[in-house]
Structure 1
Amino acid sequence: MMRAWKLPILLVLCGSVIAIGQILQGSPVQAAVFLLVFVVLAGASSPLLFPKPVGALEAQRRSAVDGKPVVYWRAGCKYCMRLRFRLGRRARQLHWVDIWRDPAGAAVVREANGGDETVPTVFVAGRPHVNPGHVWVREQLPSSGG
């Protein structure tokens, strides 16, 4: 779980160091701007922007019941963030598995991708799709969920 927070923590620390330097140089406004930018970047690269992750087994069980795709992702992945942002509110209709929090999820992704942990990997009806477009993912949602 800590691995998912390394980049956001590093961004906040770097922003804090730069802000302190700006304050010492007599530029408190510039310090505040730098700190705000780094905090926003930290938030964007954190797990906070994603729906609450579930374990791979639970996601597979839920998907079998409701027919919704399962998205395997990890914090800090720019392709995962792009998919999440482009899906907008519809992202909450999918089952999200954070492969850094769930070893079983990481194993599923490695099996689907020849040993690589390539994300996002989206499973629809048990078939993996690596880094699919957001329009395609939206089309895979059951119409009743919509």
Structure 2
Amino acid sequence: MMRPWILSLLFAGCGALVAASVTVSGKPGTAVPLLLLFLLLAVLHSPLVFPRSVGAEEAQRRSAADGRPVVYWRPGCKYCLRLRFRLGRSARRLHWVDIWQDPAGAAAVREVNDGNETVPTVVLAGRPHVNPDPAWVLAQLGG
């Protein structure tokens, strides 16, 4: 599925175009940092920075078994990125559901957000929390 990668591909493509135009205009020393900046943005907005996503039903089953929260997210969401980076290594302890890859996950988010796909939506013990403070999520993990 290409949808999660569209933003990353746009950043990489725009970076290549900008770097090429700067190089052609006679400033190759400026082109390299610009290209690296765009590539960094491409990686940050890709699914690569998030732990492996599972389906909504699997995440709910795992959460019921181990009590860990389920995080519904999508690539390119700055609030999801903020949550992911503030959680650090603890992010692996949550169950992540990419709503762009899982229609059941998108439906679950719409159900608790008045029809909107507002992410991140963290579900803990059956209660949804929309865009929670990362410190709160860490406290729920006991770390």
Q: Name the SS of the counterpart of 1:96 in structure 2.
A: strand
CA distance in 1, matches of 2:109, 2:2: 20
TM-score normalised by L of structure 2? 0.97
CA deviation profile, 1:40-98 (whole Å, cap 9, x unmatched): 00100111000000000000010011110000000000000000010111101000000
CA distance in 1, matches of 2:78, 2:96: 16
> Which residues of 2 match residues 1-146 of structure 1 at below 5 A?
1-141=1-141, 143=142
TM-score normalised by L of structure 1? 0.95
CA distance in 1, matches of 2:14, 2:87: 30
The CA deviation at 1:139 is 1.4
The CA deviation at 1:140 is 1.4
CA deviation profile, 1:7-39 (whole Å, cap 9, x unmatched): 110011100001111111222221111100000
CA distance in 2, matches of 1:13, 1:53: 26
CA distance in 2, matches of 1:98, 1:29: 38
Amino acid at match of 1:63: S
Q: Name the SS of the counterpart of 1:123 in structure 2.
A: strand
CA distance in 2, matches of 1:135, 1:31: 38
CA distance in 2, matches of 1:110, 1:2: 22
Amino acid at match of 2:11: L
Regions of 4+ moved over 2 Å: none
CA distance in 1, matches of 2:100, 2:29: 37
CA distance in 2, matches of 1:126, 1:106: 16
Query: Please, what is the CA RMSD of the aligned residues?
Result: 0.9
CA distance in 2, matches of 1:58, 1:8: 27
Segments of 5+ residues of structure 1 without an aligned counterpart are: none
Q: Name the SS of the counterpart of 2:76 in structure 1.
A: coil
